[in-house]
Structure 1
Amino acid sequence: MQCPQCVYSNPEGVKFCLNCGENFNKNNAQVDDKSFFYEFAHYVDMIPKFERTIEPKFQNIFSRVFRNHSELEAERLFIVGTALTTPKISEVKETWPKPWLFARVFVIALLAFAGFYIGVSYFRNVNFIPGLIIVGSFAVPFTTLIFFWEMNAPQNIPIYRVIYVVLIGGILSMLVALMFFDILKNNINPITIGIAEELAKAVTVITFVRYRKYKYILNGLLIGAAIGAGFAAFETAGYALRALLSGDGRNLYNTILWRGIFAPGGHVAWAALTGAAFCRVHGDHPFKINMLFRLKFLRVFMLVVVIHALWNTPIQGMFPYGHIFLMGASWIAVFLFIRAGLKEIGERKVKFQE
């Protein structure tokens, strides 16, 4: 059934377009709410056949960002991951998804931050300061996280679980990092900071991935990104509060601005890489400690530690060009893992059919 509005090919029997929400029965009785939901849930795992590609080209991956999207499309995304809406592995497409919701989330966060900024800077109302710090700290990490969520092709992790991991995983990883710092005491430097924080996030990622049995590489990317987003946002909020208490309002805005700019290539990407590497060695097998010493995991973890250490090293002229380079290196690794994750889905589909 081809939609007259967006020309999307819908499955036979649906009463509305799964892409734009166009009602096919405008002249008939209204659709029953219950049947509407179950029909909606039944076809939620149907992936549009148009604009899909296996080529990892930026113009293809982000081609839907600037297109018009209905609220129904967003609702369709937000109900994935439940027992009713998680597709079977045989129904999952191993082609590159086309995320777009993350851009809308960023615009909403930007508008909210602008409102708090006006309240603080122009109206001098201190009641807006907590909102300014919270929204400013979470805006970019959470936007990046939504991107990873949209790239999770298996669609087996609901958004409420992702938010849970952000909050609990973020604070848990920070507490574990503080334990490592307490052990190090006077031996804290850029290298030990990188080791301690990345090891803390790795322990937290492994805990969440192991007990929830998220076995796909793309699942590891998403869970890792959720923990990294929580870590990054809470850390930024702390630095912003310090800047505020120092009495320098400009330093507060600079802290939020620069940490927001570099957030996608920082803790979010690093923890995502660690999670993907662990899922790659874990798979369907029972967890064993020797998995953490396999080369496939160690080389990714060491790469993350080295990037983190260089990120914190006070090299002359490093900022911001060095950080841009490190951020680019991190995302090259992320896209390589996305490609590996999609390839893994194809291999599992073959095994499933056999």
Structure 2
Amino acid sequence: MKCPHCAYVIPDEVKSCLNCGYNSSSPDKTVEERNSLFYEFAHFVDMVPRVERSVEPKFRNIFSRVFRSHSELEAERLFIVGTALTTPKIREVKETWPKPWLFARVFLFALIAFLGLYVGVSLFQNVNFIPGLIIVGAFAVPFTTLIFFWEMNAPQNIAIYRIIYVVFIGGILSMLVALVFFDILKNNINPITIGIAEELAKAVTVIYFVRKLKYRYILNGLLLGAAVGAGFAAFETAGYALRGLISGSYHTLYTTILWRSLLAPGGHVAWAALTGAAFCMIQGDKHFELNMLIKPKFLRIFILAILMHALWDTPLPGIFPFGQLILMAASWILVFRMMRKGLKEISEKKWRFTYNPFEPSKI
């Protein structure tokens, strides 16, 4: 059958459209759902002037596919995007909000793996499970968040193998660059200098990966920035978890992984994603130049990331974790608004392609 929304041919064993996510059997939202806290958050994200609301459907609908059943064919189709043979042309890219769902499955798999390792350590007292416990616990939430960014990358021009490469190489490289900055600072370590050193290190790494014109979309910057941030956050969490185990107990190990995992989406992942998106926004279709880094559009986002990082690390008594939760919400409001800008950018480039068909190199 064909999807009534986009005319995409739907295989018999698939319940939802593989292209736009349409499902005729899905019920409408209830009044309770519309009045929920998430819908209030969604309304705030959508608060932009009406003349700029060219991207539909509303933000509140992007999680509508999470709790639906999905076939293996749908997952397989997602994992093959981004290659030379599967990257869509700009005129084929939809400028509406994507409807991600795979990230929730990834989190479920990681949670099951972590619980199995936890049983091996706590119930059977087997120390061979500890390395796996630390690694899975450190990567579960950052990688889940990264898969969400990957599904939201509407151009679908970055393959999953490339993302994994950026997670590991970018995460390690950004941590090494941060250590260089900390060595320069020596004894001048405080929340402000920590924010500057770590965000600058991630910015340098992100710019290294997104400077190529192949990754010129704002959504590409968000994704590759999130990949660097996820690697940084996961390796840092693994280090703190190991320190907690050495200096404390299993309880310290578990609480370290728990709290850092809960707060991971609003920290390094979101800040690096915003920096990457800001750089792609000012670079556009141009080749990289150093003077791009002093453009106000980039500096505003980058300085904001530094300030949020500094506030996050400020040791105010009695504020943990409420201050971090507020900063997390603020970070994700900015992330979703940047996604809206990215979708609007695609809409504009599709328009340029339609009315300038003889200049494909600029699209």
Flag whether TM exceeds 0.5 (same fold): yes
Contact 1:8 1:19 in 2 (8 A): no
Question: Which secondary structure state, in structure 1, belongs to the residue aligned with residue 316 of structure 2?
Answer: coil
| 1:19/1:337 CA distance change after superposition, 3 Å | farther
**Alpha-carbon displacement from aligned partner over 1:160-201 (angstroms, at most 9, x marks no partner):** 000000000000000000000000001010000000000000
Structure 2 residue identity aligned to 1:48? C
Name the counterpart of 2:298: 297
Contact 1:224 1:274 in 2 (8 A): yes
Contact 2:13 2:71 in 1 (8 A): no
Deviation at 1:57, TM superposition (A): 3.0
Name the counterpart of 1:76: 77
Deviation at 1:233, TM superposition (A): 0.2
Deviation at 1:317, TM superposition (A): 1.8
Name the counterpart of 1:179: 180
- Name the CA distance, whole Å, in 1 between partners of 2:118 and 2:182: 35
Equivalent residue pairs, number: 325
- Name the CA distance, whole Å, in 2 between partners of 1:190 and 1:17: 56
Deviation at 1:208, TM superposition (A): 0.4
Q: Structure 1: state its 5+ residue gaps.
A: 22-43
Name the counterpart of 2:166: 165
Question: Which secondary structure state, in structure 1, belongs to the residue aligned with residue 215 of structure 2?
Answer: coil
Deviation at 1:249, TM superposition (A): 1.2
Deviation at 1:8, TM superposition (A): 8.9
- Name the CA distance, whole Å, in 1 between partners of 2:170 and 2:142: 14
- Name the CA distance, whole Å, in 2 between partners of 1:247 and 1:265: 27
How do 1:327-338 and structure 2 match up within 5 A?
327-338=328-339
Contact 2:8 2:19 in 1 (8 A): no
Q: Structure 2: state its 5+ residue gaps.
A: 25-54, 356-363
- Name the CA distance, whole Å, in 2 between partners of 1:331 and 1:51: 28
- Name the CA distance, whole Å, in 1 between partners of 2:152 and 2:306: 25
The answer to whether 1:48 aligns with 2:9 is: no
- Name the CA distance, whole Å, in 1 between partners of 2:23 and 2:338: 21
Structure 2 residue identity aligned to 1:168? I
Structure 2 residue identity aligned to 1:351? R
Contact 2:213 2:285 in 1 (8 A): no
Question: Which secondary structure state, in structure 1, belongs to the residue aligned with residue 68 of structure 2?
Answer: coil
Deviation at 1:213, TM superposition (A): 3.0
| 1:55/1:176 CA distance change after superposition, 3 Å | same
Name the counterpart of 2:279: 278
**Alpha-carbon displacement from aligned partner over 1:261-309 (angstroms, at most 9, x marks no partner):** 0000000000000000000000111111111111100000011000000
Contact 1:47 1:93 in 2 (8 A): no
Deviation at 1:145, TM superposition (A): 0.1
- Name the CA distance, whole Å, in 2 between partners of 1:138 and 1:144: 10
Name the counterpart of 1:348: 349
Question: Which secondary structure state, in structure 2, belongs to the residue aligned with residue 87 of structure 1?
Answer: coil
**Alpha-carbon displacement from aligned partner over 1:201-259 (angstroms, at most 9, x marks no partner):** 00000000013630000000000000000000000000000001113111100000000
- Name the CA distance, whole Å, in 2 between partners of 1:205 and 1:337: 16
Name the counterpart of 2:59: 57
- Name the CA distance, whole Å, in 2 between partners of 1:51 and 1:304: 38
Contact 2:195 2:306 in 1 (8 A): yes
How do 1:216-295 and structure 2 match up within 5 A?
216-295=217-296
Deviation at 1:17, TM superposition (A): 4.3
- Name the CA distance, whole Å, in 2 between partners of 1:11 and 1:55: 18
| 1:56/1:186 CA distance change after superposition, 3 Å | farther
Question: Which secondary structure state, in structure 2, belongs to the residue aligned with residue 155 of structure 1?
Answer: coil
Name the counterpart of 1:210: 211
- Name the CA distance, whole Å, in 2 between partners of 1:204 and 1:248: 35
Deviation at 1:316, TM superposition (A): 1.9
